[in-house]
Homo-oligomer: A and B are copies of this chain.
Amino acid sequence: MANTTIYDVAGAAKVSLATVSRVMNNPEKVNPETREKVLKVIKELGYRPNAIARGLASRKTTTVGIVMADVSRAATAQLLGGIIDISKKYDYAIKLFSMAENDDIKETIRAVVAEQVDGILFLNDELEPSQMEMCMSLIQDAQIPVVLCNAMYDEKDIPAVGIDYENATYDITKELIDKGKKNIYLATTVRRYSVNFHKIAGYTKAMQDAGLEPLVFRTSGDVSINTLHFQEFIKHNNIEAFIAVRDSIAVSFMNVMIKAGYKIPEDCEVVGLQNTKYAILSRPNLTCVDTPVYDIGAVSMRLLTKFMKHEDIQESKVLLPYRIVERETTKE
């Protein structure tokens, strides 16, 4: 079946192709009777305008480019969930671009620009400031609106949606401190997520405010690796409380502790900073700071649509509320 074009519709409806185009794009500008006639033909023929041709002619593709590092991260998938739901609502198509660690960032951004997307959503935060700088200037050169999704970049005034990880981590740390804990450890990952910097900052501030020494250490996100690490680690450290930037790391740590004979939360309180499904599948259930990742995706996409439609923007940086979900790995 050759695809039906606007010419086929025009022919069958006995109007010009300009009229067919108007029926689709500016229906109010065409006489109701002809409009109905055209609409009928469109339906009969099952016509859908060729999105590529439309994109070329109108210079708008109603497509947003998602630039991300790693789909397999749980947070990425959740972010995508929110983005997809909103993009459907506003009729935007989604084009995916991944940026692996040793990819040429410049080339990736150029590719995105070459695809003529109307807007860009930048997921995650795995770039160093200098790389981020480069990305943003390339995007701004191309005059494409961009929103950072679950990443904050303070140096430049780039629209962003996230949560206040610093305050969130401060709060949970403070809670632990108020219970009298002193040796509170924060486990972060080797890779340098900007979000983790904020978490570390919040934790560090809470500890210092209380006159305690911050105990930040890095471990692997890989369970088998960090398990070995923890087995050694707990031998040499007296850990009264443990906060992990990722839930899976908290669970992995807890498993090691329990197998070593410790009781959770009696001997050590454990907290995750995400609230993923891992938190309710662990035994005991993990207390978490709840990060509304789906919402971050949804709100950032919504914000981007505003930019693409040149609507008035109230706030170009938005911080979504977080909350602490007390479960079984903390006391009281």
Question: Which residues on A are within 8 Å of B, measured CB to CB?
Answer: 1, 3, 46, 48-53, 55-56, 61, 63, 70-72, 74, 76-78, 80-81, 84, 88, 93-98, 100, 110-111, 113-116, 141-143, 223-224, 248, 251-252, 255, 258-259, 277-278, 280-283
Contact = CB atoms under 8 A, between A and B. Distances in A.
Contact of A51 (B53, B77, B116, B255): B116
B142 A3 contact: yes
Contact of A48 (B70, B98, B113, B277): B113
Q: What's the number of copies of this chain in the assembled complex? A: 2
A80 B52 CA distance: 24
Given A52-B52, A280-B224, A98 B115 contact: no
Contact of A71 (B84, B88, B114): B84
Nearest to A279: B223
B61 A72 contact: no
Contact of A49 (B114, B223, B282): B114
A167 B46 CA distance: 42
Contacts of A80: 71, 96
Contact of A3 (B61, B113, B255, B278): B113
A223 B84 contact: no
Given A51-B114, A55-B52, A81 B71 contact: yes
B48 A52 contact: no
